[in-house]
Amino acid sequence: MRILVVGGAGYVGSHMTKLLRETRHEPVVLDNLSSGFREAVLGAELIVGHLADRMLLERVLRERRFDAVMHFASSIQVGESLADPARYYRNNVAATLNLLECMVHAGVSCLVFSSSAAVYGEPARAPLDEDHPRAPVNPYGRTKWMVEQVLGDFDRAYGLRHCCLRYFNAAGADPAGLLGERHDPETHLIPLALRAAGGALPALQIFGTDYDTPDGTCIRDYVHVADLCRAHLLAIERLLGGAPSRAYNLGNGAGYSVRQVVEAAGRASGRPVPVIEAPRREGDPTRLVADASRARAELGWRPKYDLDAIVRHACAWEQRSARRRVPAAPSAVRS
Ligand code: UFG
């Protein structure tokens, strides 16, 4: 398959590009490098450009004859989306609309879209299946749900078939150690816990210890980035085989509290994680756990990695990145 990987220099997109290469497909990456990294694109062509660039997209899609598009490019921070919603509607909704229109013009009719558990808002139950009401509680979640609705309309009107993959907490790193999570600034729990264990941060702040959970901290469903990528491959194969559009939850179905993740980070790094108990972070639901039985039944998706493996791979990546960040010792001055 020849696949346009939009956002293929970012965290999940770069792992996907690597998997496509390893499975003998032909990925081409389009990324504006606003939050992605050129060196994360392993063994694939990189076109540097913005999704909102209509002429570029029309040209790329017309000239290359792609079988499908995988769309990973978006702004992803809930807090930032509350502070600067315009950026989120522009980057996540308006730019995606541009991509979809260009796909229709070019006759590319299959898309896998990176959606999010954020479309559900404050969950009424756990685990959550795909029929749970979509009631996002922040602009980030609303942008993902808007795109899902736009996709429904594009399918009905123009026959653009799609899979919306609703990630729970994407985490971990390439098991071979070549890629990993890299955000700037980093806001996610696992990399921050590992940095605190390694001494790069004085301590991890635990946001809220008074939630209605066994240890008072929030519960999340962490899913390995490599498992997410395998789900994308299964989804695109299913679409190209003629299956109708569908949304799938992607999670392990197991919930872990912040404190349990902190313990796992301590085990993986061999050092305790220093923590500070801090107030709740705005917009964090108490418990988010996936019911991913639809993806299991229809895609044949079985996540391979549990929390310990996720944190171990993330730890190996953090340690490698920390070594790269240490400046080389000045060489001896010759007289
Ligand atoms: N947390 C801390 N301290 C930190 C960072 C996080 O206690 O320094 C806690 C959070 O409060 C939360 C849990 O760890 O309870 C996980 O937080 P992350 O920031 O790692 O992940 P989120 O659950 O907030 O975010 C994930 C995705 C987002 C997506 C969101 C949807 O990473 O892109 O789920 O709900 F928007």
CATH code assigned at 260:
3.90.25.10
Average pLDDT taken over every residue of the chain: 95
Q: Using CA atoms, how far apart are residues 140 and 216, in angstroms rounded to an integer?
A: 26
In a domain, residue 184? The reply is no
Q: pLDDT tens across 205-261, in order?
A: 999 999 999 999 999 999 999 999 999 999 999 999 999 999 999 999 999 999 999
The number of folded domains in the chain is 2
Task: Indicate which CATH number applies to the domain containing 128.
Answer: 3.40.50.720
Sign of the CA dihedral with 296 first, then 254, 224, and 82 last: positive
Q: Using CA atoms, how far apart are residues 316 and 118, in angstroms rounded to an integer?
A: 28
- Domain membership of residue 236 as a residue range: 2-171+224-250
pLDDT at 328 (0 to 100):
45
What lines the ligand 1 site, CB under 6 Å? 76, 78, 116-118, 140, 169, 187-189, 192, 204-207, 218, 220, 258, 281, 284, 288
CA separation, residue 74 to residues 91, 104, 228 (Å)? 6, 21, 16
In a domain, residue 330? The reply is no
Q: Are 40 and 57 in contact (CB under 8 A)?
A: no
CB neighbour burial string for 136-165, b if at least 16 within 10 angstroms, e if fewer: bebbbbbbbbbbbebbeebbeeeebbbbbb
- Categorize the per-residue pLDDT at 327 as very low, low, confident or very high, splitting at 50, 70 and 90: low
Q: pLDDT tens across 258-307, in order?
A: 999 999 999 999 999 999 999 999 888 999 999 999 999 999 999 999 99
Residues 285 and 167 in one domain: no
Residues 12 and 147 in one domain: yes
Residues 300 and 246 in one domain: no
Residues 207 and 305 in one domain: yes
Residues 29 and 116 in one domain: yes
Q: pLDDT tens across 121-133, in order?
A: 999 988 999 999 9
Residues 42 and 112 in one domain: yes
Q: pLDDT tens across 64-113, in order?
A: 999 999 999 999 999 899 999 999 999 999 999 999 999 999 999 999 99
- 322: pLDDT strictly greater than 90: no
Residues 128 and 265 in one domain: no
Residues 238 and 267 in one domain: no
Residues 88 and 15 in one domain: yes
**3-state class of 290 per DSSP?**
strand
* Chain centroid to CA 63: 28
Answer yes or no: 140 catalytic: yes
Residues 148 and 264 in one domain: no
**Which of 166, 262, 284 best tests ligand 1's pocket when mutated (most atoms within 8 Å of CB)?**
284
Local structure of residue 74 (DSSP, 8 states): -
**Which of 78, 92, 195, 249 best tests ligand 1's pocket when mutated (most atoms within 8 Å of CB)?**
78
CA angle 63, 68, 70 (to 5 degrees): 110
Q: Using CA atoms, how far apart are residues 308 and 312, in angstroms rounded to an integer?
A: 6
| 203 CA to centre of ligand 1 in angstroms | 16
Q: pTM of the full predicted structure?
A: 0.95
Residues 55 and 98 in one domain: yes
| 170 CA to centre of ligand 1 in angstroms | 10
pLDDT at 334 (0 to 100):
35
- Categorize the per-residue pLDDT at 169 as very low, low, confident or very high, splitting at 50, 70 and 90: very high
**3-state class of 117 per DSSP?**
helix
Residues 55 and 100 in one domain: yes
Q: Pairing mode, if any, of strands 169-171 and 275-278? A: unpaired
